[in-house]
Structure 1
Amino acid sequence: MLRLSLGAKAALGAIVVAVLAFMYVPLLLVVLNSFNAARIASWPIRGFSLEWWGRAFTSEPIHAAVGNSIVVGLGATTVALVLGTLVAFALRRHSFFGTQTVSLLVVLPIALPGVVTGVALNNTYNQLLEPIGIHVGYFGMIVAHGTFCIVMVFNNVLARLRRLSPSVEEAAADLGATPWQTFRMVTFPQFRGAFVAGGVLAFALSFDEVVVTIFTAPPGVDTLPLWIMNQMARPNEASVVNVVATVMIVLSLVPVWISQRLARDAD
Structure 2
Amino acid sequence: MRLSKTARVTLGGITAVILAAVYLPLLVVVLNSFSTSKSLTWPPPGFTLEWWGKAFQSAGALDAVGTSVLVACISTAIALVLGTLVSFALQRFAFFGRETVNLLVILPIALPGIITGIALNNFFTTIMGVPLSLWTLAIAHATFCIVTVFNNVVARLRRTGTSLEEASADLGAGMWTTFRLVTFPQLRSALLAGGLLAFALSFDEIIVTTFTAGSSVTTLPIFIMNNMFRPSQAPIVAVIAVVMIIVSIIPIAIAQKLGGDEDSRATR
Counterparts of residues 29-68 of structure 1 (less than 5 Å): 29-68=28-67
Deviations 1:164-210 (A, max 9, x none): 13121111111111100000100111121111100100010000000
How many angstroms apart in 1 are the aligned matches of 2:258 and 2:153? 12
How many angstroms apart in 1 are the aligned matches of 2:8 and 2:74? 48
Give how far 1:10 is off.
Answer: 2.7
What SS does the corresponding residue of 2:232 show, helix, strand or coil?
Answer: helix
Aligned twin of 2:216: 220
Aligned twin of 1:70: 69
1:3 paired with 2:37, answer no
How many angstroms apart in 1 are the aligned matches of 2:8 and 2:100? 45
How many angstroms apart in 2 are the aligned matches of 1:3 and 1:97? 47
Aligned twin of 1:85: 84
Q: Which runs of 4+ in 1 moved over 4 A?
A: none
What SS does the corresponding residue of 2:251 show, helix, strand or coil?
Answer: helix
Aligned match of 2:172 in 163, 176, 200? 176
User: Which AA in structure 1 matches 2:9?
Assistant: A
Aligned twin of 2:194: 198
1:144 paired with 2:140, answer yes
How many angstroms apart in 2 are the aligned matches of 1:199 and 1:240? 29
Deviations 1:152-173 (A, max 9, x none): 0001000110011312111111
What SS does the corresponding residue of 1:236 show, helix, strand or coil?
Answer: coil
1:120 paired with 2:119, answer yes
Aligned twin of 1:236: 232
How many angstroms apart in 2 are the aligned matches of 1:148 and 1:87? 14
What SS does the corresponding residue of 2:160 show, helix, strand or coil?
Answer: coil
Give how far 1:141 is off.
Answer: 0.7
How many angstroms apart in 2 are the aligned matches of 1:148 and 1:3? 39
Give how far 1:236 is off.
Answer: 2.6
What SS does the corresponding residue of 1:43 show, helix, strand or coil?
Answer: coil
User: Which AA in structure 2 matches 1:151?
Assistant: V
How many angstroms apart in 2 are the aligned matches of 1:91 and 1:51? 53
User: Which AA in structure 2 matches 1:177?
Assistant: A
CA contact (8 A) 1:129 1:135 kept: no
How many angstroms apart in 2 are the aligned matches of 1:171 and 1:88? 21
Give how far 1:124 is off.
Answer: 1.7
Deviations 1:50-84 (A, max 9, x none): 11111100000001100110110000001100000
How many angstroms apart in 2 are the aligned matches of 1:105 and 1:238? 40
Deviations 1:120-142 (A, max 9, x none): 11112222222xxx445221111
How many angstroms apart in 2 are the aligned matches of 1:71 and 1:220? 15
Percent identical residues: 56
CA contact (8 A) 1:193 1:265 kept: no
How many angstroms apart in 2 are the aligned matches of 1:162 and 1:247? 36
Question: Which TM-score applies when normalising by structure 1?
Answer: 0.95
Compute the RMSD of aligned alpha carbons.
1.3
Aligned twin of 1:260: 256
How many angstroms apart in 2 are the aligned matches of 1:137 and 1:28? 35
CA contact (8 A) 1:76 1:143 kept: yes
How many angstroms apart in 2 are the aligned matches of 1:104 and 1:165? 22
CA contact (8 A) 2:35 2:44 kept: yes
How many angstroms apart in 2 are the aligned matches of 1:121 and 1:166? 37
CA contact (8 A) 1:91 1:103 kept: yes
- Count how many residue pairs are aligned between Structure 1 and Structure 2: 263
Change (3 A) 1:50 1:124: same
Range with greater deviation from structure 2 (8-17 or 251-260):
8-17
User: Which AA in structure 2 matches 1:15?
Assistant: I
Give how far 1:265 is off.
Answer: 2.2
Aligned twin of 2:13: 14
